[in-house]
């Protein structure tokens, strides 16, 4: 590698780790706030309204009634319908959410920047979880190609979003394993994570946040607590 290439990578790295990182966090935060306000605009308060928690419903009646209720619930859920897909999806989403928080290198950066850190996984555990996420991502990618019913509802953007989700994990593993150029892989690792942050509020990634928000606020969204908002349906004009 020439001196000019080393200087270029160093300058790009400083820009990616500095201004672009702050821009990604600010855009992500502002986007989530905008989408939250949009969610409120699409719903309205309805009084009185109470959703009875599922566990409360299923504790009523005899043991046989409760058991039947749970079996029916499991049968119609993704766990009962496609248990293998439910397991792969659980591993994939858990790895996406948990792994970045407990990577030793990430916590060292947090400690240096803000004086805070979380409990860190061992390098062996981090590697295993990273490879699990990459393997699950590859499974979902191939499933969208070879399973007819999934391919029928797949758009090109679905492949792009899947690559964006897996990108930080794949590049992080390549950098840790010193595959290809280390500095280039680290830059791609940070850049892909920043792209994902920017995309969270404005794509299907938003479900990682609003999955929980909608169940907290909106009745009819499988909420387990009191919910006082309902979707706002505009009345159709008869003219």
Distance, in Å, from the CA atom of 10 to the CA atom of 16, rounded to the nearest integer, reads: 10
Distance, in Å, from the CA atom of 100 to the CA atom of 97, rounded to the nearest integer, reads: 7
pLDDT over 50 at 26, yes or no: yes
- Among 6-15, 46-55, 163-172, the range scoring the smallest mean pLDDT is 46-55
Q: Report how far Cα 23 is from the mean position of its chain's Cα atoms.
A: 20
What local confidence, expressed as pLDDT, does residue 116 receive? 80
User: 168 is written with which tokens?
Assistant: 């930080």
Nearest to 169 by CA among 219, 94, 86, 239: 94
* Per-residue pLDDT reduced to its tens digit, 98-120: 999 898 888 888 888 778 877 88
What's the first-to-final CA gap in the chain, in angstroms? 71
Q: Which residue has the tokens 């959703």?
A: 51
User: 103 is written with which tokens?
Assistant: 């990577």
For residues 7, 173, 171, 153, the Cα torsion angle rounded to the nearest 10 degrees is 180
Rounded mean pLDDT, 13-20: 83
pTM greater than 0.85: no
Greater pLDDT, 204 or 66: 204
* Per-residue pLDDT reduced to its tens digit, 126-178: 999 999 999 999 999 999 999 999 999 999 999 999 999 999 999 999 999 98
pLDDT over 70 at 206, yes or no: yes
Distance, in Å, from the CA atom of 197 to the CA atom of 190, rounded to the nearest integer, reads: 11
Greater pLDDT, 87 or 6: 87
Distance, in Å, from the CA atom of 27 to the CA atom of 34, rounded to the nearest integer, reads: 10
Greater pLDDT, 26 or 86: 26
Distance, in Å, from the CA atom of 109 to the CA atom of 116, rounded to the nearest integer, reads: 9
Greater pLDDT, 103 or 55: 103
The answer to whether 235 and 48 are in contact (CB under 8 A) is: no
What local confidence, expressed as pLDDT, does residue 223 receive? 59
What local confidence, expressed as pLDDT, does residue 43 receive? 83
What local confidence, expressed as pLDDT, does residue 238 receive? 47
Confidence of residue 199 (pLDDT cuts 50, 70, 90): very high
- Among 116-120, 170-174, 185-189, 235-239, the range scoring the smallest mean pLDDT is 235-239
Distance, in Å, from the CA atom of 28 to the CA atom of 6, rounded to the nearest integer, reads: 31
pLDDT over 70 at 121, yes or no: yes
What local confidence, expressed as pLDDT, does residue 69 receive? 63
The CATH architecture to which 3-34+82-223 belongs is Up-down Bundle (1.20)
Using CA atoms, how far residue 38 sits from 27, 32, 108, 220, in Å, is 16, 10, 37, 18
DSSP 163-209: HHHHHHHHHHHHHHTT-S-HHHHHHHHHHHHHHHHHHGGGSGGGHHH
């Amino acid at each position: 590698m020439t001196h000019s290439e080393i200087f270029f990578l160093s300058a790009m790295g400083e820009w990616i780790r500095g201004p672009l990182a702050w821009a990604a966090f600010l855009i992500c935060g502002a986007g989530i706030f905008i989408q939250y306000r949009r969610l409120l605009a699409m719903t309205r308060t309805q009084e009185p309204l109470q959703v009875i928690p599922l566990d409360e419903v299923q504790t009523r009646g005899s043991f046989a009634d409760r058991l039947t209720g749970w079996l029916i619930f499991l049968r119609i859920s993704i766990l009962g319908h496609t248990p293998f897909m439910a397991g792969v999806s659980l591993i994939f989403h858990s790895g996406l959410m948990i792994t970045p928080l407990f990577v030793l290198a990430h916590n060292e950066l947090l400690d240096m920047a803000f004086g805070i850190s979380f409990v860190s996984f061992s390098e062996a555990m981090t590697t295993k979880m990273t490879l699990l996420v990459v393997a699950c991502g590859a499974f979902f990618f191939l499933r969208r190609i070879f399973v007819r019913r999934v391919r029928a509802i797949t758009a090109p953007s679905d492949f792009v979003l899947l690559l964006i989700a897996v990108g930080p994990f794949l590049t992080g593993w390549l950098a840790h394993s010193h595959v290809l150029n280390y500095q280039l892989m680290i830059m791609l690792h940070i850049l892909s994570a920043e792209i994902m942050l920017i995309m969270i509020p404005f794509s299907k990634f938003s479900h990682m946040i609003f999955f929980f928000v909608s169940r907290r606020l909106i009745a009819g969204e499988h909420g387990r607590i009191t919910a006082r908002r309902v979707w706002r349906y505009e009345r159709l004009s008869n003219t």
